[in-house]
Amino acid sequence: MKAVALTWKRDLLMHRPVLWLLLIVNALGTFYGYIWYGTQMAYTVETQSAWQVIFVPDSPTASLFFTLSLVFLLFPRLIKPTMAGIAVRSIIEALGVVTSIKYGIWAVTMIMASGAQGDHLVWEHYMLTVSHLGMAIEAILFARYMVFGRFAAFLALVWLLLNDTVDYTFFVFPWLPDVLENDLSAIQSFTMGLSVFSLLITWLMIAFRKVKV
């Protein structure tokens, strides 16, 4: 009975209408996310070095990589099964999963932390909470269906730690509510720790690929 339930869930997740729905939702979310970060990206280009702008839109970039990963699931022959093709797909998928877990959890935590310290939460905060929780959950669920391995996931961690270092060295991290400004040191530590945690969760999900259902 358990095997039947697991098989049904697997088939549901990989059903093409489900994949198409998630692809559309993630693509729209990615587009909205870059609009959301538009002001900060423009400010970064105007006031700091232009190369730092790539490190500003964390969540949309994570969503972009995951959207591309869904494209690979829908069209597995899109990239030729050569060593180079598999390497490119693996890195994109690893970035999509590891960064989506990290920034999904991070955004929700920051929203809840700001609310706990007296920030007034509006409907947009709750919308962002739901959407970012969705980012993390879908990344965890779909990691087992992708081709990337532990090393590609580790490379995603390297990118995250580089991103974290740039964010808190040059102050290009996502703009925080005023109530969290005094907690910047703790947020930095939490952010970098969450990068490692996201890798560990990803490695755990990779291990589930060995489970036969």
In the chain, the percentage of residues whose pLDDT exceeds 70 is 93
Q: Give the residue, 106 or 211, on which the prediction is more confident.
A: 106
User: Is pLDDT at 3 greater than 80 in this prediction?
Assistant: no
35 φψ region: left (φ > 0), alpha (ψ -120 to 50), beta (else)? alpha
User: Is pLDDT at 47 greater than 60 in this prediction?
Assistant: yes
Measured distance CA(164)–CA(151) in Å, rounded:
20
Mean model confidence pLDDT for the chain = 92
Residue with tokens 């050569």: 82
- Quickly state the pLDDT bin for 10 (edges 50, 70, 90): low
For residue 213, the surrounding DSSP H or E stretch is none
Residue 71 backbone dihedrals phi, psi, to 5 degrees: -60, -40
Among 7, 4, 10, which Cα is nearest to 145's? 10
Cβ(52)–Cβ(8) below 8 Å: no
Measured distance CA(141)–CA(154) in Å, rounded:
19
E strand map for the chain: none
- Quickly state the pLDDT bin for 77 (edges 50, 70, 90): confident
Write down the pLDDT at residue 117: 93
- Quickly state the pLDDT bin for 187 (edges 50, 70, 90): very high
- Quickly state the pLDDT bin for 9 (edges 50, 70, 90): low
Write down the pLDDT at residue 76: 87
Amino acid present at 58: D
Cβ(123)–Cβ(84) below 8 Å: no
Which pTM does this prediction carry? 0.91
